[in-house]
Structure 1
C-alpha cells in the first residue's frame, strides 16, 4: 500500500528549542528595557526653573531652544529632549475665579512654587543679533484638554498675553515679547495627559528652527476634582505654598545664638553680595554694595489700596513682572559658589533703611490678590522683616516706594554651609526714585541680588547671629501667607526632586517587565517539558 509523504515538521532537538524560545523572550525583555523604548527623552523635570522658550542669536541667526537651572546653572537644552512634568500637586481650584477658565486646573503660577515646574521664556540673548521684538508662534498645540496662558498684574488682576486676546492657547496663537526680557506667566491645563506644543520664534522677518515641547500633566485622567482636592490637600487662597517666609519682627535674624558669629575685627565674610547683570551677554556678577537702581516715571503706579506702610495713590514700583524702562530686580540663590556650598535656605534680613518715604517689599499674591508674603518694610528710618529663600531659586518680589528721593536699603544674607557653619554678608543698595539718573545707575533690564560664598569665611556681624537666622538657614522652619491656590506646603528639602538623570523605567513598568521575562521563561520551560513528553 502506497502511503502519501508525511509533511509533519521535523522535530527540533530539545536543547535547541529551549535556546530559541529563551532568545526570543530575552530579546523582547531587552527591547522593553532599552532607554529608547522606555522613554525617548533625556530628562524629565517636575520642579525647578526652566526657560522653556529660550531665544538666542548665535552667528546672527535666530534660534529657539531651552535653558534650565535644575541640573546646573543656565544649562542649555534643545527643548525637544525634555519632558516638562506637571505633577498631580499642581491641581488647584484657583482658576475657578478666572472667568474664561471657570474650573479647577493643573495650575502653574507665574511666581515660583518649589514643588512644581516653573516654566517661562527668555529672549534677552536674541538682542545680540539685533532681535528685540520677538513673536513666539505656537504652530501646533495638542493634548487631551485645554491649555490656558495668562498673566497676573502687580495688583492681582489677570490679563491675556496672546495676540488674539484669548487665554486659551490653541494652534496658530502668537505671544509677542516686545522687548528683550525674561518672563513668567501663568499656565493651566484642564485635563491630565500628554500635551505637545510646536513653537517657532519670529523677528525682523526671520524665523527660528521649530521645537516641539512635551508636557506630561498629572498622574492620570480618572480622578474627579473632589478626589484630586482630597489627594493634594487643596486649601483656600488664604494659604501660601510658594515660599518659606519668616515673621517680620524688628531685628529679624539678629537676636540670639552666638555659635555662628565671629567678632574678630579681621573676620572674613562668608558671603559677598553680588548683582547678576543680565543686560550683558553672557551675564556678569557684579559687586552689590553701593549698586544704584534708578526708577524713572515709567515706574510710577497708582496703588488701589495701601500696601503695608505705603498708602494708596501714587507710588513707584519695581514689579514682579518686567517693565520696559524699569530695572527689574529679583533675588537669586543660584550663583555657582552658593549652589556648591549652601544646601539649605538663605535668609534675607532688612538690616538698614533710610529714605524720604516708606518702602514695602513683598511677593505677588495669588489670583485676585495684591500681597502674598511680606519680605521687608521700611518707614521713618526703621527697618524690619526677614525672608527665607530656598536653594537654587530665582524669584522676583515687588519693591514699592512711597515718595521720590534716594533710599538706602541694607540687606543681610545668612545661610549655613554643608558643614553647618554659619556664613553671612550684607550690602547697601541705593534706589533713586525720580529726578535725574545718576551716572552708572541701573535703569532698565533684568538684575538679581545674590551672593558669592566663601566657606572659609564666617558671620562677621558684631555680636550674635540670630536663632531665627540659624534655624532658617538650615531650612527647617515654615509658615503661611497668601495662596496661589496650591496646597499649603513649604518647600521641603526631603521631598521628591526633579528627575534629572538618564532615562529611568518607572518601578511599576520595570516590575511588569521582569514579570514578563519570568513568565516567558516559565512558558519556555513548559514547552520544552511538553516536547520531552
Structure 2
C-alpha cells in the first residue's frame, strides 16, 4: 500500500491508498466526568501525613475516629464568603496585606459555618524516624492572591508558618505519634481557585531519606455551597498527520482527563491527557471528506470545563484503513477539584479458696490506693455523649494514639506543668489579671509538654438530639480564678467562662463540634470545676449530666488529687469489699463495730417479740 499527500495545509489533507477496509468495531466512548468532594464546614486535617511500608504519603483526613480518608486529588477545600474579614491596622498582622484590605480566613478555632482545617502526623508510629519528626514543606502556590498560614498563640500574637510571599516560611518541622495534630488560620488574599503544593520529608532511624513527593491541594475561596465552586476554563486544539495520527493539545497542561476524537458525530476513540497532550492513531476513516474534532473531557467537572477543538477538514482518497481505533484506558491518578457530597468502670473480684478440713483466718489491715489517671500532655476532649437515652459527660483521651479511651471525669486529673506558665500579655486580657501577672494556661494551639484540652459533641447525632448542647460552669473551687476563652484570627479574646466575674456561665455547643480554647488559671494549686451539660432529645425530653473536673496547676502533686479506693475489714478480721472515694462524691462509709452490734441486738429483740406475739395469738 502506498500513500502520498496530494496537498498540504493547516486544515486539510488528502490521503492516497490502493485499498481500504473500514473497521466494523465501534470505538469505546471516553469515561464520564465526575465531581470532586467539596469540604466547606467540617473538621479536616487537610494535610494528613501517612507512613506505611517504609514510605511517606500525603492524604486528607476528615472528621474524628473513625476517620474518612481521601486522596488530595479527590477533594476541594471551599472557604465560604463568611470567612471574609478585614486586615487589622496592627503591625503584627501587616504580613496579611494593607490595613483594612479584605482577607479570607479559615480560622484556627472551629466555626461551624466554616472549614476547620489543619494537619496531622498522628498516623506515623514513634521510633521509625530520626528524632521522631517530619518536615512539612510548602513547595508552591498558584492562585489569584497571596496565601498565609499562621497560628494565634495563647496571648494573641500571630505565629507565621507557611507563606507564598516570604521564602522564610515554607517549611515546618513536626513531631510524630500520638496527639500531634495542628490547626491554624488559612488566609487568602483574593477569591478564586488556589493550588497549594505540599511535600513531607523525613529520615529513618537507619539513615534512609524519605519523601512523599509533591502533592497538590486545591482550595476555592468564595461562594456559600459546593455549586458555587467554579471550574477553570480549558482550550483544546487538534492536528492531523499521515498515518492517521491525531494529536490534541489541552491547556492548562496540568488539567487531568481524556480527549475523545470524532469524525463528525462518530467517535474514533479516546486517549488520556499527559502533560497537556493526547494522541490517537487510527485507520478507521473511509475514503472521502471528513471533519475531525477533539473534545477534552475533564476527570472532574467541578475542576475544569470541557472544551472542543476547531474542526479540521481531512480527505481520504482510496486508502485502506484496516486497524481499529486505539484507546488508552484511564488511570486513577488525577490532580485537582471537588463538588460536594458533600468507660465503663471495671470491677475487681477477689476469689477465696477454702479447704474441706481447715479454715484459716488472717488478720486484715485496711489499705488505701488511688485510681484514675493523670493527663499532662497530648490531645484530650471534654465530650458529651448520649448513651441509652442519657446524657453522659466523659473525657475522650487520645494521648496514647490509636482508638481513644473514654474515661469518667472523676477518674481524671489534668496537670498543668511548668511549661504551661506564662504571663498576662496586655490590657485586652484584663479578665485574667494585670499585665505581666503570672498565669498557667492550656493554649488553644497544641504546645509540647502541655495537655491539649478541647470540647467535643461529635458523638451526638441529629437522630438523638435537637439543638445545641448547653454547657454550664456552676462552681470553681481553688486558690485563684479561672477562665476559658478563644482567640479570633487576629488575637482578640472571646470569653466563654470566667469565674472572676461570677457564676454560673453558659455556652452553647452545636452538635458535631470539636473545638479548642485557652484554659487559664491565675494561681498554682488544686482546682475543681463543676460542669453541667444538658441537651434536648428528639423525643422532647431534656437530659443533663453534672460532673466535677479536677486540675492540678503548677507546683502540686497531681496524684494526690486522684480518687481513692479503701479496702476495709469485716467482723471476722478478713478483707471485705472495697469502698471508693471520688472527687465528685463522698465514698461509702463503713459502720463502726459498735453500731453494727447495736443493730444486731435490736434486730434480735424484734424477732423475739414477733415470735412471742404469734404464740399468744395462737392460744
How does the TM-score come out when normalised to structure 1? 0.61
Q: Distance between the aligned counterparts of 1:344 and 1:111, measured in 2?
A: 21
Deviates more, 1:292-301 or 1:89-98: 89-98
- Find runs of 4+ consecutive structure 1 residues off by over 6 angstroms: 169-172
Instruction: State how 1:279-290 maps to structure 2 within 5 Å.
Output: 279-290=399-410
Kindly indicate whether residue 529 of structure 2 is the aligned counterpart of residue 409 of structure 1: yes
More helix by percentage? 1
Q: Distance between the aligned counterparts of 1:309 and 1:345, measured in 2?
A: 28
Contact 2:126 2:176 in 1 (8 A): no
Residue 334 of structure 1 corresponds to 458
Contact 1:307 1:360 in 2 (8 A): no
Q: Distance between the aligned counterparts of 2:168 and 2:194, measured in 1?
A: 12
Deviates more, 1:302-311 or 1:402-411: 302-311
Which ranges in structure 2 are unaligned for 5 or more consecutive residues? 1-27, 204-208, 231-386, 563-619
Which ranges in structure 1 are unaligned for 5 or more consecutive residues? 1-26, 223-266, 443-533
The verdict on how the C-alpha distance between 1:171 and 1:106 changes in structure 2, with shifts beyond 3 A counting, is same
The verdict on how the C-alpha distance between 1:423 and 1:58 changes in structure 2, with shifts beyond 3 A counting, is farther
Structure number, greater radius of gyration: 2
Give CA-to-partner distance per residue, 1:300-345, whole Å, 9 cap, x none.
001124542544410000011111001010011112x556523421
Q: Distance between the aligned counterparts of 2:67 and 2:210, measured in 1?
A: 25
The verdict on how the C-alpha distance between 1:309 and 1:149 changes in structure 2, with shifts beyond 3 A counting, is closer
Q: Distance between the aligned counterparts of 1:353 and 1:416, measured in 2?
A: 26
Residue 206 of structure 1 corresponds to 210
CA RMSD, Structure 1 to Structure 2 (Å): 3.3
More strand by percentage? 2
Residue 56 of structure 2 corresponds to 62
Q: Distance between the aligned counterparts of 1:326 and 1:431, measured in 2?
A: 13
Contact 1:90 1:106 in 2 (8 A): yes
Give CA-to-partner distance per residue, 1:215-236, whole Å, 9 cap, x none.
11224999xxxxxxxxxxxxxx
The verdict on how the C-alpha distance between 1:282 and 1:440 changes in structure 2, with shifts beyond 3 A counting, is farther
Give CA-to-partner distance per residue, 1:332-386, whole Å, 9 cap, x none.
1112x556523421111013321111111112144142x11x2212259x64211
The verdict on how the C-alpha distance between 1:89 and 1:376 changes in structure 2, with shifts beyond 3 A counting, is closer
Residue 540 of structure 2 corresponds to 420
Kindly indicate whether residue 170 of structure 2 is the aligned counterpart of residue 173 of structure 1: yes
The verdict on how the C-alpha distance between 1:54 and 1:441 changes in structure 2, with shifts beyond 3 A counting, is farther
Q: Distance between the aligned counterparts of 1:120 and 1:441, measured in 2?
A: 35
Kindly indicate whether residue 85 of structure 2 is the aligned counterpart of residue 92 of structure 1: yes
Q: Distance between the aligned counterparts of 1:356 and 1:419, measured in 2?
A: 42
The verdict on how the C-alpha distance between 1:398 and 1:213 changes in structure 2, with shifts beyond 3 A counting, is same
Residue 506 of structure 2 corresponds to 386
Residue 303 of structure 1 corresponds to 424
Q: Distance between the aligned counterparts of 1:404 and 1:416, measured in 2?
A: 38
Residue 414 of structure 2 corresponds to 293
Give CA-to-partner distance per residue, 1:429-458, whole Å, 9 cap, x none.
11101225434999xxxxxxxxxxxxxxxx
**Which one of the candidate residues 468, 487, 490 is aligned to 1:367?**
490
- Relative contact order, higher structure (CA 8 A, sep 6+): 1
How does the TM-score come out when normalised to structure 2? 0.53
Contact 1:277 1:285 in 2 (8 A): yes
Q: Distance between the aligned counterparts of 1:346 and 1:77, measured in 2?
A: 30
**Which one of the candidate residues 435, 440, 452 is aligned to 1:316?**
440
Instruction: State how 1:238-277 maps to structure 2 within 5 Å.
Output: 270-277=390-397
